[in-house]
């Protein structure tokens, strides 16, 4: 698990919010190209874990390495440049900008303010962006402000933004929340296609979805890593079942 070749390695990460330990000595290693599911009852610290990786929250102890790079000392934009993309639990897109503009912001080779001041209009990349919009089924919304999208479409847009951003490591926080069963299946397909080229960490509740996409599943509970294994191993694990007691069992969490 602590193989040196891991793409992402969290070691003994802790963080507290006014005394409450939301993440407590967490260890997590993810290999390059892996699709890792992260599950756990509400309040287990899954979102906080992603916050720690992308720099939104700074850990009080421990280290986070992307390949050989230490992330905990970097600012959010530096972490993003190092190759980490993040989808938020509450879909977070630029509502005043059009769908196309959203994609243009996400897809950018250069991040410097002066270089971008001399970069105008549409280049060859817009073709790719249109294909991407087609992929997630919002191609006829390209010219509209993102505020006009439905909740499901906003989820899709943010997923498209992450694909446009093209990070090596993609963090997805409950990407299928608010999607229909059919849309969820489509998301699963998409993630399976991204796997291999990207490393993915997906926080999910829907066990059906997890069965479709997951190889290795990590289970968090009260800020710690409770178990790691295949879907079968996890479902059979008595400790996991105990953790989910009171939240209605693992499949309904």
Partner 1 sequence: MTKRGNIQIAVYAFVCLVILLLPFVLGNDYLLNRIARYLVLGLLAMSLSLCWGYAGILNLGQALSFGIGSYCMAMTLKLRTVPVQTGAGGLPDFMVWNNVETLPWLWVPFHSTTFALLAGIGVPVLLAALLGWFMFKGRVTGVYVAIITLAALVVGNLLVIDAQAYTGGFNGLTDLAQLELFGITFDAYGRSTYYLCAICLTFSLFAALALTRSKTGLILQAVRDQENRVRYFGYDVAHYKSFALCVSAGFAGLAGMLYTVVMEFASPTFMGVPLSLSVVVWCAVGGRSSLLGATLGAIIVAGMQNVLSEQRAFLETWTLIMGAIFVLVVLFLPKGLAGLSEAIAGRLDRSRPSALVSDAVTVEKNIALPEVRR
Between the alpha carbon of residue 65 and those of residues 82, 105, 129, 163, 215, the distances in Å are: 11, 27, 31, 22, 22
Q: Is 218 in the site for ligand ADP (CB under 6 A)?
A: no
Cβ neighbourhood burial of 172 (10 Å; 0-12, 13-18, 19+): buried
* Residue of 6, 9, 47, 199 interacting with Mg ion (CB under 5 A): 47
Q: DSSP states of 5-16 as a string?
A: T-SEEEEEEEEE
Of residues 116-175, those binding partner 1 (CB under 8 A) = 116-122, 143-144, 148, 150-152, 161, 165
Q: How many residues bind partner 1 (CB under 8 A)?
A: 47
Task: State how beta strands 84-87 and 169-173 pair.
Answer: parallel
Q: Residue 22 or 129: which CB sits closer to ligand ADP? A: 22
- From 103, 185, 86, 162, select the one nearest 138 (Cα to Cα): 103
**139: exposed, middle or buried (Cβ count in 10 Å: 0-12, 13-18, 19+):** middle
> Does 92 help bind ligand ADP (rule: CB under 6 A)?
no
106 vs 219, beta carbon nearer partner 1: 106
113 is a site residue for partner 1 (CB under 8 A) = yes
Out of 92, 230, 241, 251, name the contact with partner 1 by CB under 8 A: 92
- Closest to ligand ADP by CB, 22 or 201: 22
CB of 50 or CB of 194, closer to ligand ADP: 50
**Integer CA distances (angstroms), 36 to 143, 195, 202, in order:** 35, 10, 6
Among 6, 9, 48, 184, binds ligand ADP (CB under 6 A): 48
Q: Which is nearer to Mg ion, 86 or 107 (CB)?
A: 86
C-alpha to C-alpha distance for 172 and 189, rounded to whole angstroms:
15
Compute and round to an integer the Cα radius of gyration of the chain.
18
Does 22 help bind ligand ADP (rule: CB under 6 A)?
yes
In the list 29, 45, 59, 214, the residue contacting ligand ADP (rule: CB under 6 A) is 45
Burial of 200 (0-12, 13-18, 19+ CB in 10 A): buried
Minimum distance from residue 203 beta carbon to ligand ADP (Å) = 7
Indicate which single residue of 6, 47, 154, 176 sits in contact with ligand ADP (rule: CB under 6 A): 47
One of 45, 85, 214, 223 touching partner 1 (CB under 8 A): 85
Residue pair 22/48 in contact by the 8 Å Cβ criterion:
yes
Q: Report the partner that residue 244 touches, choosing among partner 1, ligand ADP, Mg ion, none (CB closer than 5 to 8 A by kind).
A: none
**Range 224-243, binding partner 1 (CB under 8 A):** none
Nearest distance, CB of residue 144 and partner 1, angstroms: 8
Length of the chain: 253
Contacting partner 1 within 3-62 (CB under 8 A): 54, 56
């Amino acid at each position: 698990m602590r193989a040196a070749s891991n793409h992402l390695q969290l070691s003994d990460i802790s963080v507290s919010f006014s005394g409450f330990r939301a993440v407590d000595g967490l260890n997590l290693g993810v290999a390059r190209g892996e699709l890792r599911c992260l599950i756990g009852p509400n309040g287990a610290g899954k979102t906080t874990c992603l916050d720690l990786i992308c720099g939104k929250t700074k850990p009080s102890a421990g280290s986070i390495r992307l390949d050989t790079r230490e992330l905990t000392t970097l600012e959010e934009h530096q972490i993003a440049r190092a190759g980490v993309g993040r989808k938020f639990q509450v879909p977070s897109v630029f509502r005043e900008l059009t769908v196309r503009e959203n994609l243009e912001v996400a897809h950018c080779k250069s991040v410097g303010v002066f270089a971008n001041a001399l970069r105008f209009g549409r280049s060859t990349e817009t073709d790719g962006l249109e294909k991407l919009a087609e992929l997630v089924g919002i191609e006829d919304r390209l010219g509209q402000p993102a505020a006009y999208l439905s909740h499901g479409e906003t989820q899709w847009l943010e997923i498209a933004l992450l694909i446009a951003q093209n990070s090596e490591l993609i963090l997805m926080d409950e990407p299928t929340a608010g999607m229909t069963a059919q849309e969820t299946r489509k998301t699963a397909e998409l993630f399976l296609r991204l796997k291999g080229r990207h490393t993915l960490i997906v926080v999910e509740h829907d066990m059906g979805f997890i069965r479709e996409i997951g190889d290795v599943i990590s289970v968090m509970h009260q800020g710690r890593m409770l178990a790691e294994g295949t879907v079968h191993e996890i479902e059979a694990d008595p400790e996991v079942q105990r953790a989910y007691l009171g939240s209605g069992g693992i499949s309904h969490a």
